[in-house]
Amino acid sequence: MAGYQAINFRQKLDLIAEQWQPRVVAEMNDYQFKLVRLEGDFVWHDHKDTDETFIVLEGELRIDFRDGAVIVSAGEMFVVPRGIEHKPCAEREVKMLLVEPRGVPNTGDAGGARTAPNDVWI
Amino acid sequence: MAGYQAINFRQKLDLIAEQWQPRVVAEMNDYQFKLVRLEGDFVWHDHKDTDETFIVLEGELRIDFRDGAVIVSAGEMFVVPRGIEHKPCAEREVKMLLVEPRGVPNTGDAGGARTAPNDVWI
């Protein structure tokens, strides 16, 4: 078989036209790896049933919590625990990899206009 | 709370003295993120019950399969499907992030001298 092919983050990110639209690039068991470009402020939300992992590839992400914040820069990761309200913010564009179970919506339980289509592969 | 802290891959890798000894840096639900430095050839093995994710941070990893191989370079990832025999190889040192369920041994079902202690945090 000659079908083994690595997933190149930069090449995949170049195919993503819109910010805040996560695109699935791989699955491991029932988890998905999603690339996303983002800039500006997102909405407050949480995920009641799952932790959520942010791995920053380019730029500097701030994640606000109700009682603090964390800066996640390129080459760093952070796991947001389940049920904790958070709001990602990026003064300049950030490119990152999300890891979370299949089927988790980007806005969690908050819903609203910023909710992106789920399970879209690139 | 002032306890939010990102995980810096380079800082953590600098704390890992030995090659082929994965160190846990984070958990997401029942999955773990492990950093590892490796060089040379590993042993053939598989993981019957789980896929395994390789994200290369520095260097170039080759993963041999019984019917092919894949090169995974810095900025790339690859998911080895469950039950597929594989052998990681690195001509020069590779630094990478593994993602897999808690409790998965590095040598899978093969065991042997290369089996590293599991669930060691750094």
Cα–Cα distance, B58 to B60 (Å, whole number): 7
Six token digits for residue A19:
């910010």
A9 closest CB neighbour out of B1, B9, B75? B75
Please tell me chain A's helix, strand, coil percentages from 3-state DSSP, rounded to the nearest 5.
Answer: 5, 50, 45
Reported ipTM: the value is: 0.95
What's the pLDDT score for residue A1?
52
Cα–Cα distance, A40 to A37 (Å, whole number): 11
Residue of B nearest to A2 (CA): B68
A63 three-state secondary structure: strand
Segments in chain A below pLDDT 70 = 1-2
What's the pLDDT score for residue B3?
81
Q: In chain A, what percentage of residues exceed pLDDT 70?
A: 98
Q: Which of B1, B64, B79 to mutate to test the interface with A (most CBs of A within 10 A)?
A: B79
B6 closest CB neighbour out of A31, A67, A70? A70
B70 closest CB neighbour out of A6, A29, A70? A6
Is the CB of B51 less than 8 angstroms away from the CB of A28? yes
Six token digits for residue A52:
């959520």
User: Which residues in chain A are contacts of B67 at CB distance < 8 A?
Assistant: 1
**So where are chain A's domains?**
9-101
> What is the domain class of A9-101 according to CATH?
mainly beta
Residues in contact with B65: Cβ distance below 8 Å, sequence separation at least 6, in sequence order: A1, A4, B84, B85, B86
Fold of B9-13+20-101: Jelly Rolls (2.60.120)
Per-residue pLDDT of chain B (122 residues; tens, 9 = 90+): 558 999 999 999 999 999 999 999 999 999 999 999 999 999 999 999 999 999 999 999 999 999 999 999 999 999 999 999 999 999 999 999 999 999 999 999 889 999 999 999 99
